[in-house]
Amino acid sequence: MDPLTLGVGGFVTILILLMARVPIAFALGSVAVVCTLTFYSWPVGGEFDIVRGWKAAAPVLTSNTYDFVHSFELIMLPLFIGLSHLAFHSRITTDIYYAMRLFLARIPGGLAIASIMGCGGFSAITGSSVACAAAMGRICTPEMLQAGYGRRLATSSVAVGGTLGSLIPPSVPFILYGIFTEQSISKLFMAGILPGLISLLAFIIVVVVWVKANPAEAPVVRLALKPGDRRRAAFNTWPAILLFGIICIGIFGGFITTTEAAAISVVVATIIGVALKRLTYASFIHSLRETAYQTAMIFLIAFGAKIFVSFISLTGVAPWLIAELQGANLSNWMIIGLITIAFLILGMFLDPIGILLLTLPITVPLVDEMGYNLIWFGVIVVKLLEIGLITPPVGLNAFVVKSVIDRDIPVHTIFAGISRFLIAEVIVLGLLLGFPILSLLLPDTFLG
C-alpha cells in the first residue's frame, strides 16, 4: 500500500474518531498501531502478509513506548503535577490571591484583578491551567459574586486567568513539547515568562476597561481591615515565593536541572504544608492519587502519540506536505497563518494535550524546514492551546469554573464574559507572531 495514502488516511481517521468523541489516547493509539502494522504487512507492490508485518512492527511499537517511558526528562511531569496538588492542599497558592485581594479590593474591579494575579501566581508554581481554574474558581468566583460582581466578570476572569498555567513556567505543555521536539525545556520555560506576563497584563487591562465602561459590574469592596493585615498577608506568601525561587532561580541560574527543581519543590512543598499544619495525611494521599490519575491520563495519550509520530515519519507525510506547500508558492507567513487557524479550529473541539501531540508530527518539520526557531514556535503553540481552553463550544476552563461553583450560572454566560478577553488574546498572539523577540529575548540572553 502506498505509504503516503496510508499516512493521510490514518490522520483523517483519527480526526473522525475524535469528532465521534473517542478519547484521544485510544484514537491515537489504535490508529497508530493498526496503520504501523499495515505499513509493514502490505509493502508497495507486495502482498498483504500480517505475520511478516507483525514481526517487523512489534519491535517498533514496543521500543517507542519503552524509550518514551524511560526518558529522563519525563520524570518532571508527575513531579510538577504532584507539586500543583500539594501546593493547593497546603494553601500555598491561594495565599497569593488572599494577599492580592487585600491590596486591590478597594480598586474598581480589584477582586477580578486579584483573581487573575492569583492565577498567575498559582501558575508560576504549578503549571496546570485546568488545576488553576478549578482551585481559584472555588475561592475567587463565590467571593466576587457575594460582593455583587456581575456573573460574567466573576466567572470569566477566573476562566481566562487559569490559562496562564500554559505559558508561565513550569508548564506541562512546554514539557511535552520539549520532549517530543527534543528542544531544551529550560529554554522553553524561560521563553514563556515574558509572553505570560504580557498575557497577564492584557487580562488586567480588559478588566479595567470593562469596569470603567460599566461600574455596576464590579462594586467597590470595603474590607474591615485591622492594622497589619496587609503586612501579614504579604508575609504569608513566602512559601510561594520560595518555591518560585527554587524553580526559576535554580533552573535559569544553572544551579539545578529542571527535573531536580521539580523534585526539590515537591519535597519543600510537603515540608511546608506539614510544618504549617495545613497538609493532612488524608490530603497528602489525595494529592498522590490525583497526581497518579492525571499522569496516567497524559502518559496514555503520549504513548499513542509516540507511536503515531513514528508512523508519520515512516510514511513521509511531512516531507510531502512541505513539498506541496512550497509548490503552492505560499509565503512563510501564509503557512504560519494556516497553522494558526488550524490550531484555533482544533482548540474549539479538542483537549489541549491531544491537540499538541496530534499536530506536532506535521507542524514541527514544516516550521523547521522554513527556518523558524522551534523555541519561538513552541511559545506560539502553547499560546494557541491557551486560547483553545476558553474558546467555545468546548472551552475546557469555562466548564471547569462552571463545575466548581455552586451557582445556577449557565455556561453561555461564562463564554459571554470570555469573549471580551478573547480580543486581548488575539492581540497578544499577534504580538508574539510579529515580534519573536518577545519569546526569545530571555532564553537567548541568559541561556544562549
Q: Which of 377, 376, 389 is nearest to 425 (CA)?
A: 389
Specify if 309 maps to a domain: no
Q: Which of 122, 212, 223 is nearest to 167 (CA)?
A: 122
Specify if 81 maps to a domain: yes
Specify if 346 maps to a domain: no
Q: What is the pLDDT of residue 420?
A: 92
- And the C-alpha cell for 442? 530571555
- Cβ–Cβ < 8 Å for 19, 10: no
Given a cut of 90, whether residue 205 has pLDDT beyond it is yes
Per-residue pLDDT reduced to its tens digit, 131-148 = 778 878 888 888 888 888
Q: What is the pLDDT of residue 127?
A: 67
Specify if 315 maps to a domain: no
Collapsing DSSP to helix, strand or coil, 227 comes out as: coil
Given a cut of 90, whether residue 439 has pLDDT beyond it is yes
Given a cut of 90, whether residue 355 has pLDDT beyond it is no
Per-residue pLDDT reduced to its tens digit, 160-204 = 988 888 888 888 889 989 988 889 998 999 999 999 999 999 999
Specify if 124 maps to a domain: yes
- Cβ–Cβ < 8 Å for 90, 96: no
Specify if 51 maps to a domain: no
Across 48-63, average pLDDT: 81
- Cβ–Cβ < 8 Å for 194, 438: yes
Q: How many domains does the chain have?
A: 1
Specify if 426 maps to a domain: yes
Given a cut of 80, whether residue 1 has pLDDT beyond it is no
Specify if 41 maps to a domain: no
Read off the pTM.
0.88
Residue-averaged pLDDT of the chain = 86
Question: Domain span at residue 384?
Answer: 73-297+375-446
- Cβ–Cβ < 8 Å for 222, 148: no
